[in-house]
Amino acid sequence: MPRSNILFALLFIVLLGLSEAPGRRSLYAFASSSSDGICKSMIETQGYPCQEHKVTTEDGYILSMQRIVVGQSGSKGDKPPVLLQHGVLADAITWVLAPYNKSLPFILADNGYDVWLGNTRGTKYSNGHTSLSTSDKAYWEWSWDELSSYDLHALVQYVYNHTGQKLYYAGHSQGTLIALAAFSQKNLLNMIRSAALFAPIAHLNNIPSPAIQLAARSLLATALYWLKLGEFIPKSQEVRQLIGTICNSSGTNCSDLVKLFTGPSCCISFTTIDTLLLHEPQPTATKNLIHFSQVVSTRKIAKYDYGNPIQNMQHYGQLNPPQYNMASIPKDFPLFLCYGKNDILADVKDVEFLINNDLKDHDKGKLEVVYSEEYGHLDFIMASNAKEVVYEPVLDFFKRT
């Protein structure tokens, strides 16, 4: 049962949007003031100085990053940089929703790390381009292949250039897939010390939710329609319609969509969820969600399939899209993986397949795994006890790698 990030996105959006529990803010009603960056609205408000940075990818997308150099102590730490990379339909704000002493970026800064938050193309604070605008269809011509080869590459290279040091990496959900894809091609490894992967997404063969499976099938069946739209806007009429259809035909009670699509979360406070709904979900490319659906339906981790041999030949020089071979990740590259029993996107069976098959020959001392009996997909970055369950083990791991 794979859980697709697509699904994740859909679910996330849908769940959040459709769960109109009293007192909860509707997704469709959130007001966005776009004048202030993430530093001003989410980081300085927690008492941390913050710098906004911009980096342009090789294909012209202008991405924003936030940097926290100084922790509570008020003086600059002595540890290397860390880059944090968010999931699909989300942006860097998802890392800083909990209070400062429970959120990974602030905990890292307080421990002396130089913390950088990346935002992938198409999200609210990374929607610039050297020649295109978000209303151009061409702006949305990408999937997680490009997030891996262009966005992640630019973000890592920028931090490396700027600090003159190799960095640590921490990713959530889609932020793990794009890193694993790069590592499997032996990219970026010269600039990264080690990687912590929260709710890792690679194989999507065991999605337990009929609604998610149906969402993936629906997107693939109507791919031409969706691709014409270019941008996947979670709050749009089209997406609400899709979700309504999926709920109806899978017999799903959509009043509990969030839980349905990400798995039940054990430990996220209502305040954190309310703040989450103020800022997320973020748009993505429909092509990206179709690519995730392809991973679900083909049970292969491959590049985007253009759906016909001629176009695949044009893009890849072969009839079928090339596959990512996760077993090619160098065996001595230090990895930390954490996953949870209640996660229906990073399903336990799929994560364990990655660990026990692709990574079976990984050097013993270079692969660490944390498993939670109670965590769902979002707990890893938002739970009120994530510091004890996940972040402290990650700090130990960084110290040793």
Catalytic residues: 173, 343, 377
Nearer to ligand NAG, 244 or 309 (CB): 244
Nearer to ligand NAG, 107 or 197 (CB): 107
Q: From CA 190, how far away is CA 167, in angstroms rounded?
A: 10
Region of 133-141, 172-180, 252-260, 312-320 interacting with ligand NAG (CB under 6 A): 252-260
The answer to the question of residue 255 lying near ligand NAG (CB under 6 A) is yes
**Per-residue contact flags (x/-) with ligand NAG for residues 50 to 89, judged by CB under 6 A:** -----x----------------------------------
**Using CB under 6 A, which of 11, 82, 92, 154 touches ligand NAG?**
154
**Using CB under 6 A, which of 59, 141, 256, 352 touches ligand NAG?**
256
**Using CB under 6 A, which of 140, 158, 183, 375 touches ligand NAG?**
158
Q: From CA 146, how far away is CA 191, in angstroms rounded?
A: 19
**Per-residue contact flags (x/-) with ligand NAG for residues 36 to 55, judged by CB under 6 A:** -------------------x
Looking up tokens 């250039």 gives 161
Looking at residue 366, the DSSP 8-state letter turns out to be G
Nearer to ligand NAG, 55 or 329 (CB): 55
Q: What end-to-end distance do the CA atoms of the chain give, in Å?
A: 33
**Using CB under 6 A, which of 130, 241, 314, 323 touches ligand NAG?**
241
326 contacts 359 by C-beta, under 8 angstroms = yes
* Binding-residue total with ligand NAG (CB under 6 A): 15
Looking at residue 147, the DSSP 8-state letter turns out to be I
Specify the pairing of strand 114-118 against strand 61-68: antiparallel
Three-class DSSP labels, 8-73: HHHHHHHHHHHCCCCCCCCHHHCCCCCCCCHHHHHHHHHCCCCEEEEEECCCCEEEEEEEECECCC
Q: Number of C-alpha atoms within 13 angstroms, CB side, residue 348?
A: 11
Nearer to ligand NAG, 74 or 164 (CB): 164
114 contacts 164 by C-beta, under 8 angstroms = no
The answer to the question of residue 320 lying near ligand NAG (CB under 6 A) is no
Q: From CA 361, how far away is CA 370, in angstroms rounded?
A: 18
- When computed from its CA atoms, the radius of gyration of the chain, rounded to whole angstroms, is 19
Query: Treating both helix axes as pointing N-terminal to C-terminal, what angle do 5-18 and 174-184 enclose, rounded to 10 degrees?
Result: 170
**Using CB under 6 A, which of 45, 133, 248, 308 touches ligand NAG?**
248
**Using CB under 6 A, which of 72, 101, 222, 308 touches ligand NAG?**
101
Nearer to ligand NAG, 253 or 357 (CB): 253
Q: From CA 398, how far away is CA 83, in angstroms rounded?
A: 12
Strands (E), 32-107: 51-56, 61-68, 81-85
The answer to the question of residue 346 lying near ligand NAG (CB under 6 A) is no
Q: Within the chain, how many helices (H) and strands (E) appear? A: 17, 11
167 contacts 192 by C-beta, under 8 angstroms = yes
Region of 126-134, 153-161, 277-285, 310-318 interacting with ligand NAG (CB under 6 A): 153-161
Nearer to ligand NAG, 253 or 311 (CB): 253
Nearer to ligand NAG, 204 or 394 (CB): 394
The answer to the question of residue 222 lying near ligand NAG (CB under 6 A) is no
Q: Which residues bind ligand NAG (CB under 6 A)?
A: 55, 101-102, 154, 157-158, 161, 241, 244-245, 248, 253, 255-256, 387
